Structure 1
Amino acid sequence: MASDMELRSVAAEAAGLAGRSDRRLQHDIDHAMAIVDDYPAVFTAWETRRITRDHVEVIVKAGCVVPAEVRPAFEEAAIEICERDIAVRVREPLRALAQRMHPREFTERHRDAAAGRCVRVLPGADGMSDLIATLPTVIAAGMLDRLTQMGQSVKDARAAGTDAAGAAFGDAAAPGQPEEPDARTMDQLRADALADLVLGGAPVVDPTYGTDGPGPLGAIRARVQVVVTADTLTGTDHGPAGAVGAGLVDADTARELAGQTASWDRLFIDPVTRTPAEIDTYRSTASMRRLLQARDQHCRFPGCRRAAIRCEIDHTIDHALGGHTHIYNLAHLCQRHHSMKQFTDWKVRQLGGGLLEWTSPGGRIYREDVPIPAVCFTPEPDPPPGARTGHLVDEPPPF
């Protein structure tokens, strides 16, 4: 069985040849290995055209909850179901089959599954993204119900001409102006309420404080690294900015955030010489980190777009081997690719000007160009009126 680092290295090599993300390619490799190794009967049925590729995908997805000891029986039963109908109509029967054949109680399995709860962002089109939370069903349903009630209350208050919803969800009317009926749809109201609650609210119980009262968690501000060219910032053009690691931001929003944010660090860098800075210690200075964040913007492994503020600063030539803490010997790498550089035969060197050249274990060379010089800032979205609970004053902005 290949080690995790070996699989990472192989995926990175294949991704370089295919021009794809190594994370995505490793996922595809893992998925293919799962079909061949974990579902041999299904793979054979697909080869002999008893079932289709779509059937295979449905079986593997439904069977992810089935333990290995009952998987062969599940395979045979699933193949029989798939032979009788098309893939889109066998999803529910296969899910029911998997639940019925599982030897453990559903309650026990739910307890384990709840440990995998998470939140993630999927960048979309036109400056929008999907925020996805994987939660226990009862909590997710409760959240949707509460957001719906909030949205309906705002609509009712506006329709009644009261001031109760005047400041709701960042849509307040000017003082002295009459309230108008809220034209937002229920979906829009729910989305606005969720954004306000997450950005401006505080947890009901704050274990960092020790009581049920407001504590330090409520004072943590949201941080987003935004990259925008000087021309867009000054209004010379209206090209989109970028929320590093998340997606595109329209020019109007970028300029508004740049004008309002309290955490603003401007970096003016010579686009030709990109003046280097160096210190004698291992750790880079705050100004060097800001310069590197502006230069790199993301992990510098080919194809990786993990935001620089979520990465580690790596000495291209190890400091312990004489590498200097110098702008041209430093680069941002995410934890995955930092570890791969350290523990596999992937090599990297800097060619000057921020250009990195990677050499794979197979001897192939990939160059990661330095991103376009840009101005970066970290906005802290304001909470709705009355929701501010204070600021953490002892933590400097990430950039």
Structure 2
Amino acid sequence: MTANGGGGPDGGVVSPHGPAIAAYGEALALVHDADVASVRALAELGRSALREAHRDGVRGLASDMELRSVAAEAAGLARRTDRRLQADIDHALTVVDDYPTVFAAWEGRRITRDHVDVVVQAGTGLPDEVRGEFEIAAIAVCERDIATRVKPALRALAERLHERTFTDRHRDATAGRCVRVSHGADGMSDVTATVPTVIAVGMLDRLMQMGQSVKDARVAGAGVGAGAAAGPDAASADEAADTRTVDQLRADILGDLVLGGAPVVDPFYGTDRAGGLGAIRARVQVAVTAETLTGRDENPAEAVGAGLIDSDTARQLAGQVGEWDRLFIDPVTRTPVEIDTYRPTASMKKLLMARDQHCRFPGCRRAAIRCEIDHTVDHALGGHTHIFNLAHLCQRHHSMKQFTTWEVRQLGGGVLEWTSPLGRVYREDVPIPAVCFTSETANPPPVDGAGGPPPPDGPTPF
């Protein structure tokens, strides 16, 4: 794409926006230089980690731990999550080392960063022998148009250069099938499934058929209700009409199938006993105030690790819980009774889950129900199983604490202080309490008839 000069002192019309456009152009140049420098620095950071891990000929777990460690260090500088930083390091290594010609074209402003990303994506899986040829041809394609419009041409180019058949590559690609969740606003989230195309098309077709069937039954039911021969299964006159759209029906049916259906891959599917997989039900960790739970207010609750949910859904989930365990904590120290065993008691686990809510490594928000309880000072080294020597860590950061030189200590009150291998200190405060039960009576009865003043009520997740 080209642009004219926009006029000037020789009779052309001068745009009043000229200075602003020029300032934006200067800003773009600064961003370009910064992006190039950032990718180069991230690639060097990755190389440094790999060199350190391979210095003594050690590979495998040691390499991954070194990458995790430096990614966490860089994440502290960038104020981002270490998982995202490690992904950026991997991408930078790919761009700089595997696509040097494309990187040079980007550095020379022949193409944009968006072009680089689509080229790398299209070239995934190409053999090393043809990557150089692909780079040169891809740059020529990218110079003709913006990044979003060259994707089909780049995919076609990569397809022509592939030495393996599409069938073979698809067989390998199916190993990357997965399901992801992106949390949005207003208590809604997007569920994305990466599956073989034929499966995706079949899933959508079945949902469409099921949605249409419900829609047809709704119309037929309305016709039966209008006549005199309505049977016992006909909807009652005061039953709310089903006004869901086809899109809404498909979404509801998908949720019903996933949450309530027995999967075909169940080892016991089709036998004379219920399949174990079909009996599994989803788990959601919810934090809600007593006022919202009792209907005194309509404030949203929190699905820990996900986002906010509406109060009606929170109360509905709470109503399905068969047993509530209230947590009692010391009125002065706010700590539960310490135990001598390695594993914390059930009440301690619930208090920790309500306190931590998520992994306690800086920037990580993996929900506590998906984490492990770690002794900050190892139990084998004399660390006590005490509420202030325990914290939730996800598997990634639990193993990183164990196998790298990242150090952590608890400052009291559940506050964690992390020290990186380079000596930077990060303080991970206790999340804001999302649950608090209070008593309406001035002198509640003692607990378990033990006598004496009872401890105050503590938070309870469900």
Superposition TM-score tier, normalisation by shorter sequence? 0.7 to 0.9
Q: Could you tell me which residue of structure 1 aligns to residue 98 of structure 2?
A: 38
Structure 2, unaligned stretches of length 5 or more? 1-46, 51-62, 225-232, 437-460
Cα deviation, residue 148, structure 1: 0.5
Aligned to 1:240, which of 290, 300, 305?
Answer: 300
Answer whether contact 1:267 1:294 (CA < 8 A) is retained.
Answer: no
Secondary structure of the residue that 1:348 maps to in structure 2? strand
Answer whether contact 2:177 2:194 (CA < 8 A) is retained.
Answer: yes
Answer whether contact 1:161 1:179 (CA < 8 A) is retained.
Answer: no
Aligned to 1:86, which of 146, 152, 162?
Answer: 146
Match of 1:257, as an amino acid? L
Cα deviation, residue 256, structure 1: 2.4
Cα deviation, residue 114, structure 1: 1.1
Q: Could you tell me which residue of structure 1 aligns to residue 78 of structure 2?
A: 18
Match of 1:128, as an amino acid? M
Q: Could you tell me which residue of structure 1 aligns to residue 321 of structure 2?
A: 261
Match of 1:233, as an amino acid? L
Answer whether contact 1:230 1:374 (CA < 8 A) is retained.
Answer: no
Q: Separation in 1 of the partners of 2:331 and 2:78?
A: 31
Structure-2 change in CA distance of 1:320 and 1:142 (3 Å):
same
Match of 1:139, as an amino acid? I
Q: Separation in 1 of the partners of 2:116 and 2:173?
A: 24
Answer whether contact 1:161 1:180 (CA < 8 A) is retained.
Answer: no
Q: Separation in 1 of the partners of 2:86 and 2:291?
A: 39
Q: Could you tell me which residue of structure 1 aligns to residue 390 of structure 2?
A: 330
How do 1:1-399 and structure 2 match up within 5 A? 1=47, 2=50, 3-161=63-221, 176-177=236-237, 182-208=242-268, 211=271, 214-262=274-322, 264-267=324-327, 273-375=333-435
Cα deviation, residue 352, structure 1: 1.0
- Count residues with an aligned counterpart: 370
Max Rg structure = 2
Structure 1, unaligned stretches of length 5 or more? 165-172, 377-397
Secondary structure of the residue that 2:124 maps to in structure 1? helix
Per-residue CA shift, 1:341-382, capped at 9, x if unaligned?
A: 111111100111111111111111111111223449xxxxxx
Which moves more between the two structures, 82-91 or 324-333?
Answer: 82-91
Identity percentage over the alignment?
A: 78
Structure-2 change in CA distance of 1:69 and 1:264 (3 Å):
farther
Secondary structure of the residue that 1:242 maps to in structure 2? strand
TM-score by length of 2: 0.75
Structure-2 change in CA distance of 1:229 and 1:372 (3 Å):
farther
Secondary structure of the residue that 2:373 maps to in structure 1? strand
Secondary structure of the residue that 1:64 maps to in structure 2? coil
Structure-2 change in CA distance of 1:99 and 1:232 (3 Å):
same
Q: Could you tell me which residue of structure 2 aligns to residue 383 of structure 1?
A: none
Q: Separation in 1 of the partners of 2:238 and 2:292?
A: 36
Q: Separation in 1 of the partners of 2:331 and 2:292?
A: 17
Secondary structure of the residue that 2:123 maps to in structure 1? helix
Structure-2 change in CA distance of 1:39 and 1:236 (3 Å):
same
Q: Separation in 1 of the partners of 2:293 and 2:181?
A: 25
Secondary structure of the residue that 1:279 maps to in structure 2? coil
Cα deviation, residue 181, structure 1: 5.7
Cα deviation, residue 37, structure 1: 0.9
Answer whether contact 1:158 1:180 (CA < 8 A) is retained.
Answer: no
Q: Separation in 2 of the partners of 1:268 and 1:32?
A: 50
Match of 1:159, as an amino acid? V
